[in-house]
Structures are given as C-alpha cells and as structure tokens.
Amino acid sequence: MMCRHLPLLRLTLLGAFALAASAQSLPTWRETTPTALLGGASIAGLAHGNGVFVVTASSNNPVTDFVLSSPDGSTWTRRDLPAGISGVRQVRFVNGKFWTVAGNGSGSSTVYNSTDGATWSAVQTVAVGGIATGGGLIDLAYGNGRYVAPLELGWITSADGVTWTARPAPTPVGATLTGATGVAFANDIWVASFGSVSTTTSMFRSTDGLTWTPIPSLTAFGGYTRVFVFNNQFVVYERSNTNVSTFGQALVSTDGLTWTRAGATNNATASSGVTGIGPGYRVSPAGVSGLGTFRIATTTNNAAFTEIGVMPFNRNVDRGFAVGESAIVGWTSTSQLVVGDAPAAAPVAPTIATQPAGQSVPAGGSVTFTVAANGGGLTYQWLFNGSAIPGATAASHVIPVVSSTHAGSYSVRIVNSAGTITSTVAALTVTAAVPSTAYLTNLSIRSTAGSGAETLIVGVSIGGAATSGTKNLLIRGVGPTLTGFGVSGALADPRLDLYAGASVLSGNDNWDPATTPVATQSAVGAFALGAGSRDAALVRNGLASGSYTVQITGVGGATGIVLAELYDLTPAGTVTAATPRLVNISARTAVGTGGDILIAGFNVAGTGSRRLLIRAVGPTLGGFGVSGVLADPRLEIFTGQTSVAVNDNWDPTSTPAVTQTSVGAFALATGSRDAVLIVNLTPGSYTAQVSGVGGTTGVALVEVYELP
C-alpha cells in the first residue's frame, strides 16, 4: 500500500481569490491543531467547500477513521464516519459535495459524500473482478458528465456520482508507475499524473476519462507534483532534486499535449528548494535545512511569484493548503494544522472556461446557451447578431419556444472591474418542426392515505397547445387488491373523489363493473381488481381542458397504503396533435426510507419523444405553509432498473427557472435544495423516485410537466 501522505501541496482555490496574487502580507499564522489529532492521529486529506473546511484523518489507538470540520479553520469538530469505514485518504470538494473513498480490503472500496462535512453517506461499494480496485481516494475531477477518481489501487468512474464502475488504471509501455497523484479536467480533456517513472512518462491524456494514452512530450520532465487546473490551464511542477536549475518550475498546457515551461518559482536561491507547490501558491523554506521559517507566495501566471507572508513554525508546512473565503489552512508533515487570514484578492480580468456551443433546434423546441467563466464580480450580457438581448444577463440564456426569428449568432460579453471578454459565436439553426405524438398517458403513486391532513391528493391538468375537445379518464384508488401483491397495511376501503376547484365532479366508494368495466381497465394496461373488492374506481368522460384533483380517503377514517392511478382512455390510434393531453400530473405525500421512498410511475405513449420537466419539491413547500417538508430531496428517473437521469439540488443553468414557470410550475426558492430534471423520453414506462439525502424523511411534491 502506498504512503497515506504524499509530499505535495493540496490546494482548493475558490472564486477570485484563487486567481489573484495579493501584495498584502498575511497576518501572523497560528497553530490550530484539534485535540482529535493528538496522540498518534494522522491527517489524510484537506479540502474546503460550502463555507466549511474538512480534514480526513485516522487514528491507530484505537484504529478508526474520522473527519474534522470547521467553519473558520480555527474551531474544529470531530465527525464520525459511518460504521465499518476504514482506509480513508484524500477528501475533495466537487460539484457541491465533499467526497472521500475508503478501502475495505479484498480489492473493494466504498464511496462516501457529504454536503456539509458533518453528515456522511455511503454511496456505493465498488468491487469488480479482474480489475484492481481498492484503497482510499487519491484525487477526484468532474467534466463532460463524468466523475473520474484514481484510488490507491485502480480507478473508478461515474456518470452521476451514484453508480460507480471500476476501470483499469492508465498503463504505459516500459514504465514503472509508483501510483497516481492526481487527475484534472479542462477544455474537454482529462489529464492524469503519476508519482514517478523509470524510463517513459508519468502523465496521461484522455478525451473521455476512460481510455488513456501517455503524453510523450513530458518524458524529460522529472518528479511531478499532482496535476492541477489553474486559469483554464493544466499545471504540473517539477520536484526533482537532481535538477536544481529547474527545481520547482511549472509546465502549463491547454490541451494536455503541448507543454510550456512557465519559469522558476523560487524567490530565493534554487538550492533552497520548494517544499509545497500548486497553482497560484508555493511554499519554500528560508534555509536549506528545510525547517524554520517558511515563505508563502502567490502567482497569477504560474511563473512570477510574489511573497505575501511567512510562517515561523519549526516544522515542514508542506503537505497542502485549503483556501476558504476568509482563511487559509495549512497541513504539516507532522499532521498539524496552521491557519492564516486570507488577504483581500485583487480583481482579475474574466476568462472563459467553457464557450457557448452552437445548436440546431426544431421550431417549437427550446434552447439554452451556457457559458462558464472564471473571475470575481462577473456580469453577463448575451448578444444576438452582435446586439444586446434585453434581460439576458445571466450565465445562461434560454429561449423557451424557438421560432425562425431566433436563428442567428449568439455570444456573451462578460465584465468585471478588471476587464471585459466576449465569447466565441454560437450559431442557432432553426429547422422544421418535428412531428411527434408522444404524450403522457398514466400516473400512479403508492402512498399512505387516511382522512383530513392524510388525504392523498393527486393533481392533473388537461390541455396542450392547439388542442380542442375533451378527455376521458379512468381513475382508481386501489387498496384491498394490493394485498395480493404482498403489500401489508393496505387501506381496506378507499374512497376517491374528482374535484374541479372546490366542486366534486364524480366520486366512488366501491367500484362497480357496470360503470367501470373490467375491459375498459385492462385496455389501458391496468391490472385487474379483485372481484367484489372495496377498491375505488370510476370512468369520467368529457373532461374539458383545465386542472383537476383526485382525493383519496379511508372510509370511516381508516388509514392505510393505497395506489392512486390515472389513465388516459383515448384510443392510441386516434391521438393527433389536436387531441387534449395530460400536460401535468403531480402528487404530494410523505417520503420515507428504503421501501417507503416516494415512487411515482408514469407512461409515455405515441411516436417520437416527449420533453418533460420533472420536479421533486421539498424545501420550497415550506413557503406555502407545509410543515415537515423533506429538506433535501433527491430525484432519479428509471426505466425498469436502468437510471435515466438524476438530480440532487437543481441547477438554474441546466433547468432554468424561466423554463419551469413557462409551463405553469411555481417558482422554486433561489438556492433551494429542491430537485429538478429536464428529460426527453421515448414511449415507455418510467418511475420518478424521490428520496431524502442522507436518509432524511419528510413531505415532498413530485411533478411531471409536458414541455414544448
């Protein structure tokens, strides 16, 4: 097994501070070693995110792994990890979460994550025969929809952060690798670094994060640090003691193939050395001995460093740094921590990390242009054919319904106090509208129903652009028949009522085969109800376009499990673009854990595909007076056992607020942890599964909307 502490600088750089070198000196540094690190405990990793510093650590007496969290780098709280965890190494902050991996022995590892550094959840244990997978986390990067994580033994990847797959590690010809030190993503390219080599290269390049090739241009560059991304460039530093003239120099690249030396990083004599280094920072001792006064310096170009302070500690402050909003925490070779207040950052002109992409969209569809930029205090202005678009002042520009008048060139001008940059042009081509008759035909949800506040309420909206006529529905509240499927605690006698506003349109207590024929139910794929059962079912014909609710209660105030179902009775062969559709279906209920998570089933029928907005709303419900809401819902869409899409916290860049409100969905609270997905689904059966992050429970609303 590799050493748990690699002698390289661990950095987390946030916002404008990460991009600027300040001439301001740091205040006096101070030690902040928590009690939990005394008595033989050792630090394994250090990171910062969501306003929290996190340390992963282990103790030999007794043998245990744990984490420490701190809001300011000075006050630390020990956090226990889930039972059975062992072999923790690095911690990384990626996509709004902290991540670590524990090696469980026998070639397996368990992935853990946390949003706040305090509560940790086991995501998945990975063990694949024939691939050496095990040990703790070395590094983690994300790009183009994929997480890539080198471990002590092997590599793992994931498309959603939930399902992880073991992968072969990069394998060069004629080289001896001592182990991965890092992985990074920029400009649609992955680069991985290794500790050292015998004859060939210790850097690899990939276009997909799965298949790797050696980078031959780095064969003469010895002793690499971990690969970083800084100012949209890949950066590695030379650490070879045999080459004093280039000791601590940086190589930079934008494509992972062509690398350029960025210059020496040592302000003192070259022989003084550099003990810790990374993008934007380097630490070097004042004396050759390696102990005593340490200097910290910053850079904006990886070449010219400006000293901003000293750390007078009689130990090597060389393991790494985590940079927060108001503090910098350093990690020493003796597993101690030091902290200094972060200096104010000088403004730096914006740079573009990801340019907006050209798109071809059929008329009537929607399009989103997005840019990713670096720098602090950024403002955005989108341009159409060179002219400013009124109100288009976010990182994304959404056109909910595209027409031929929208065809043209789009770009975005990004400004802050230090400069202005304009993106490359992204062309929008508008094609003829694509005929599609794909439509929602069914919704089902299983939940507890009773009376009063425990009434199960399912919402449905009928309509659609350019439609006319009415809709016929089959509506069921199934209780007793569920016992035949092994469901315990089924509601013995459900009653259902169909409402338009506050008015009851139809109702049923015990279904009647004369008014809700078995043949009508089986024709739309509904399972047979028990003969003479007290399940509730009705057929309602001639419903005009509009919104309705189905309310299911227990007769006599009884409570139990019930399945609510809605079916579109329009014969499949008669559906046209003018036929009214189910444009919105929703249900609000309690979300539990395990077998009690919220599972809503729905079907897409017809031809072509249907674009849908699917939401799991928890926190925002609190603003409507709902108590006991699910604080952090997670939404995942399945077809059978296959995951189609997943979201934890909604992202306005990928699921814009304007797209949601354009179909009548209420606005979500800014920065809320509600979950939202936009998916394009072909005909078939699907489930929307809503669970609470970290095993939490509460009330949530699941919604499915048809999008143009």
What six digits make up the tokens of 133? Answer: 């997978």
Structural contact between residues 578 and 467, judged by C-beta atoms closer than 8 angstroms: yes
Among candidate residues 317, 341, 365, the one where a domain is terminated: 341
The predicted model gives 41-66 an average pLDDT of 84
Please tell me which residue, 323 or 279, carries the higher pLDDT value: 323
The candidate with the shortest Cα–Cα distance to 55, out of 17, 95, 92, 96, is 92
Structural contact between residues 200 and 214, judged by C-beta atoms closer than 8 angstroms: yes
In a domain, 701, yes or no: yes
The predicted model gives 201-230 an average pLDDT of 74
Q: What is the pLDDT of residues 416-436, one digit of tens each?
A: 877 889 999 999 999 987 666
Q: How far apart are CA 446 and CA 477, in angstroms?
A: 10
Same-domain check for residues 19 and 49: yes
> Count of CB atoms within 10 A of residue 97's CB?
21
Same-domain check for residues 374 and 258: no
State residue 248's pLDDT score: 57
What six digits make up the tokens of 645? Answer: 């899409």
Q: What is the pLDDT of residues 642-666, one digit of tens each?
A: 888 999 999 888 888 899 999 999 9
State residue 448's pLDDT score: 85
Please tell me which residue, 134 or 347, carries the higher pLDDT value: 134
State residue 299's pLDDT score: 67
Instruction: Name 419's bridge partners.
Output: 416
The predicted model gives 439-459 an average pLDDT of 87
Structural contact between residues 399 and 330, judged by C-beta atoms closer than 8 angstroms: no
Sign of the torsion formed by the C-alpha atoms of 390, 673, 689 and 666: negative
pLDDT confidence tier of residue 345, bands split at 50, 70 and 90: low
Q: At residue 352, what are phi and psi to the nearest 5 degrees?
A: -105, 125
> Count of CB atoms within 10 A of residue 573's CB?
5
Same-domain check for residues 376 and 481: no
List the helix and strand counts (H, then E) for the chain: 2, 55
State residue 228's pLDDT score: 81
State residue 530's pLDDT score: 85
* Percent of the chain predicted with pLDDT > 70: 78
The predicted model gives 150-161 an average pLDDT of 86
Please tell me which residue, 26 or 121, carries the higher pLDDT value: 121
> Count of CB atoms within 10 A of residue 49's CB?
23
Sign of the torsion formed by the C-alpha atoms of 51, 678, 443 and 581: positive
In a domain, 10, yes or no: no
Same-domain check for residues 489 and 363: no
Same-domain check for residues 537 and 652: yes
Structural contact between residues 649 and 673, judged by C-beta atoms closer than 8 angstroms: yes
State residue 420's pLDDT score: 86
SS3 annotation, 377-391 = CCEEEEEECCEECCC
SS3 205: strand
In a domain, 9, yes or no: no
CATH number at residue 286: 2.130.10.10
Peptide bond preceding 62 in cis form (omega within 30 of 0): yes
Same-domain check for residues 160 and 222: yes
Q: How far apart are CA 148 and CA 170, in angstroms?
A: 12
In a domain, 346, yes or no: no
Please tell me which residue, 311 or 420, carries the higher pLDDT value: 420
In a domain, 290, yes or no: yes
SS3 annotation, 618-644 = CHHHHHHCCCCECCCEEEEEEECCEEE
Does residue 278 have a pLDDT over 60? Answer: no
Structural contact between residues 370 and 67, judged by C-beta atoms closer than 8 angstroms: no
Does residue 410 have a pLDDT over 60? Answer: yes
Torsion angle in degrees (nearest 10) through CA of 23, 28, 29, 32? -140
CATH number at residue 446: 2.60.120.380
Structural contact between residues 580 and 673, judged by C-beta atoms closer than 8 angstroms: no
Same-domain check for residues 496 and 549: yes
Sign of the torsion formed by the C-alpha atoms of 588, 606, 583 and 470: negative
Q: How many domains does the structure of the chain reveal? A: 3
Q: How far apart are CA 218 and CA 261, in angstroms?
A: 11
The tally of CA atoms less than 13 A away on the side-chain side of residue 390 is 0
State residue 523's pLDDT score: 92
In a domain, 272, yes or no: yes
Does residue 525 have a pLDDT over 60? Answer: yes
pLDDT confidence tier of residue 6, bands split at 50, 70 and 90: very low
* Percent of the chain predicted with pLDDT > 90: 36
Same-domain check for residues 550 and 421: no
What six digits make up the tokens of 357? Answer: 């992409």
pLDDT confidence tier of residue 282, bands split at 50, 70 and 90: low
Provide the domain limits for residue 418.
351-431
Same-domain check for residues 518 and 406: no
Q: In degrees, to the nearest 5, what angle opens at C-alpha 607 toward C-alphas 605 and 612?
A: 60
Q: Average the pLDDT over each of 431-440, 480-489, 696-705 and give the range with the smallest value.
A: 431-440
Does residue 240 have a pLDDT over 60? Answer: no
State residue 188's pLDDT score: 83
Same-domain check for residues 230 and 303: yes
State residue 14's pLDDT score: 26
Share the mean pLDDT of the chain.
80
Q: What is the pLDDT of residues 93-123, one digit of tens each?
A: 988 889 999 876 566 888 999 989 988 888 8
Single-letter residue type at 72: D
The predicted model gives 124-152 an average pLDDT of 80
Structural contact between residues 247 and 270, judged by C-beta atoms closer than 8 angstroms: yes
Q: Counting beta carbons within 10 angstroms of the beta carbon of residue 72, is it exposed (0 to 12), middle (13 to 18) or buried (19 or more)?
A: middle
State residue 5's pLDDT score: 29
Among candidate residues 294, 322, 341, the one where a domain is terminated: 341
CATH number at residue 418: 2.60.40.10
Q: CB under 8 Å, gap of 24 or more: what pairs does 640-648 form?
A: 640/685, 643/160, 643/162, 643/163, 644/679, 644/681, 644/686, 645/677, 645/679, 646/160, 646/161, 646/162, 646/677, 647/675, 647/676, 647/677, 648/96, 648/673, 648/675, 648/693
Same-domain check for residues 573 and 594: yes
Same-domain check for residues 131 and 192: yes
Does residue 541 have a pLDDT over 60? Answer: yes
Please tell me which residue, 539 or 598, carries the higher pLDDT value: 539
The candidate with the shortest Cα–Cα distance to 78, out of 121, 31, 136, 34, is 34
State residue 293's pLDDT score: 60
Q: How far apart are CA 81 and CA 100, in angstroms?
A: 11
The predicted model gives 84-90 an average pLDDT of 76
Q: Average the pLDDT over each of 18-22, 459-463, 673-677 and give the range with the smallest value.
A: 18-22
The candidate with the shortest Cα–Cα distance to 564, out of 674, 702, 699, is 702
Please tell me which residue, 166 or 303, carries the higher pLDDT value: 166
What six digits make up the tokens of 659? Answer: 């797209």
In a domain, 3, yes or no: no
Among candidate residues 276, 311, 341, the one where a domain is terminated: 341
User: Which positions ≥6 away from 220 have C-beta within 8 Å?
Assistant: none
In a domain, 378, yes or no: yes
